[in-house]
């Protein structure tokens, strides 16, 4: 079948919740994807910051294949070895005490919200507690995660959402302080806002929020779903500020393409008990074998070192674009999570770039996002820039 025929079939059977690019992908290798007609694309999106190890990593594939032949699922009525091993490595990497495995990032957020409310309920027996979230944040599309997402555009059609959510301004500590009261049970934020436009939190802000939480016995929740698992150059982005959360959510690169997320807690925040929370598929042997192997490969292939080296190179080159093109107004980011802000809509630019063989994605209406696989090299940055600048020159003509 032709690509257009596959797309027509998809549109006849899939719910139209995505405005998809007109591409049907067939396979991947390293930092490249190939469509079903054989065209090659340099991938600087990584499945929205998911494919940290790149495509067709043999060590990863072999680990997943071996687990498929052993055991895929048993349910959480029983223990399984891959979940135990993955939990040990994840808690160690995060400096946290306990973990609950989920199927996705948005489910991890749901668990984090429930943890905060149960923690506060255990203290006073009341259920009128409030959570402070950030404007321009994004935490997912389920009802709880949507409730703490600071973008009315995503929320409007689905109200009423869960109550007791207040919104402060990211990197504005005073705006957080004025919202804190005796009902506040948690503050949730992304150490680097992703969908909101690639905005890193300042060290001062993270330290200040941590102090507020300590002084008021409030749980601090960090959403590291996109910026975690090495993307920032540290295993988790909050490490730059030298602070620790009470609850943390992860997903995306944790499974290198397999559907796994998690929320982690310190002992203080381990409020959930049997009957409070559950999942049928979360933490099954297959996805946990994948996550377990991800940590091994991070160490064996020096992933963090590569992120820091190539991330610095990418940052330097993106700074040059800001100086070269008048319609690029800012560059922000850290590691291999970078963004360029434009004073024009970026949707057409991303579309043109993809048609030219380089996959880039947007963050909002005016930011191009660069989140390639964490194995990307400097020569791939150069290849991307050559194509991207060609598109920019065309738009700027």
Residues 80 and 36 in one domain: no
Using pLDDT thresholds of 50, 70 and 90, give the confidence band for residue 163.
very high
CB 102 within 8 A of CB 261: yes
- Give the model's pLDDT for residue 239: 98
Rounded CA-CA distance 62/256 in Å is: 13
Section 112-129 average pLDDT: 97
Residues 329 and 222 in one domain: no
- Give the model's pLDDT for residue 131: 98
Strands 328-334 and 337-342: antiparallel
Sequence length of the chain is 397
Residues 249 and 323 in one domain: no
Residues 34 and 45 in one domain: yes
Q: Identify the domain containing residue 163 by its residue range.
A: 59-300
Residues 74 and 29 in one domain: no
Q: What is the secondary structure of 236-248 as a DSSP string?
A: SGGGGGT---SEE
Give the number of domains in the chain: 2
What's the token pair of residue 346?
A: 């970026």
Residues 106 and 221 in one domain: yes
Q: Residue 212, Cβ neighbours under 10 Å: how many?
A: 19
- Give the model's pLDDT for residue 270: 97
Q: What is the pLDDT of residues 226-280, one digit of tens each?
A: 999 999 999 999 999 999 999 999 999 999 999 999 999 999 999 999 999 999 9
Using pLDDT thresholds of 50, 70 and 90, give the confidence band for residue 105.
very high
CA distances from 4 to 37, 74, 94, 257, 352 (A): 11, 40, 45, 26, 18
Residues 160 and 191 in one domain: yes
Q: 300, 317, 333 — which closes off a domain?
A: 300
Q: 249, 265, 300 — which closes off a domain?
A: 300
The pTM for the full model equals 0.96
CATH number, domain of 312, equals: 3.90.1150.10
- Give the model's pLDDT for residue 395: 84
Section 152-181 average pLDDT: 96
Residues 160 and 206 in one domain: yes
Is 396's pLDDT higher than 80?
no
Residues 315 and 360 in one domain: yes
- Give the model's pLDDT for residue 1: 86
Is 397's pLDDT higher than 80?
no
Q: What is the pLDDT of residues 25-62, one digit of tens each?
A: 999 999 999 999 999 999 999 999 999 999 999 999 99
CATH number, domain of 117, equals: 3.40.640.10
Using pLDDT thresholds of 50, 70 and 90, give the confidence band for residue 96.
very high
CB 200 within 8 A of CB 192: yes
Residues 321 and 285 in one domain: no
Residues 87 and 231 in one domain: yes
Using pLDDT thresholds of 50, 70 and 90, give the confidence band for residue 162.
very high
351: enclosing H helix or E strand: helix 347-355
Rounded CA-CA distance 221/247 in Å is: 5
Residues 114 and 95 in one domain: yes
Q: 300, 321, 348 — which closes off a domain?
A: 300
Q: What is the secondary structure of 194-207 as a DSSP string?
A: TTTTSEEPPHHHHH
CB 107 within 8 A of CB 282: yes
């Amino acid at each position: 079948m032709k690509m257009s025929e596959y797309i027509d079939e998809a549109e006849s059977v899939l719910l139209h919740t995505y405005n998809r690019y007109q591409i049907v992908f067939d396979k991947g290798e390293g930092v490249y994807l190939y469509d079903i007609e054989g065209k090659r694309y340099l991938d600087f999106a990584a499945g929205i910051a998911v494919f940290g190890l790149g495509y067709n990593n043999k060590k990863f594939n072999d680990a997943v294949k071996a687990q498929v032949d052993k055991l895929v699922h048993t349910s959480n009525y029983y223990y399984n070895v891959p979940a135990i091993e993955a939990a040990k490595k994840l808690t160690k990497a995060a400096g946290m005490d306990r973990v609950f495995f989920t199927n996705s990032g948005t489910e991890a957020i749901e668990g984090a919200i429930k943890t905060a409310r149960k923690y506060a309920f255990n203290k006073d027996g009341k259920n009128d507690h409030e959570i402070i979230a950030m404007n321009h944040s994004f935490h997912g599309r389920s009802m709880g995660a949507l409730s703490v997402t600071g973008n009315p555009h995503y929320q409007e059609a689905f109200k009423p959402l869960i109550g007791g959510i207040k919104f402060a301004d990211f990197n504005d500590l005073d705006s957080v302080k004025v919202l804190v009261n005796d009902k506040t049970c948690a503050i949730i934020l992304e150490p680097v806002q992703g969908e909101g436009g690639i905005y890193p939190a300042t060290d001062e802000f993270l330290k200040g929020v941590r102090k507020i939480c300590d002084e008021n016995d409030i749980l601090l929740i960090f959403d590291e779903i996109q910026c975690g698992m090495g993307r920032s150059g540290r295993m988790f982005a909050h490490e730059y500020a030298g602070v620790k959360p009470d609850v943390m959510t992860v997903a995306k690169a944790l499974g290198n393409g397999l559907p796994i997320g998690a929320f982690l807690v310190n002992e203080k925040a381990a409020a959930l008990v049997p009957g409070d929370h559950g999942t049928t598929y979360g933490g099954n042997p297959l996805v946990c074998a994948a996550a377990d192997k991800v940590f091994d490969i991070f160490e064996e292939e020096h992933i963090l070192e590569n992120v820091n080296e190539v991330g610095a190179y990418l940052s330097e080159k993106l700074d040059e674009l800001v100086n070269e093109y008048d319609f690029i107004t800012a560059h922000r980011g850290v590691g291999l999570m970078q963004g360029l802000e434009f004073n024009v809509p970026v949707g057409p630019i991303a579309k043109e770039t993809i048609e030219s063989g380089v996959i880039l994605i947007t963050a909002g209406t005016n930011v191009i996002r660069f989140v390639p696989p964490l194995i990307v090299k400097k020569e791939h940055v150069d290849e991307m820039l050559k194509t991207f600048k060609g598109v920019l020159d065309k738009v700027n003509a």
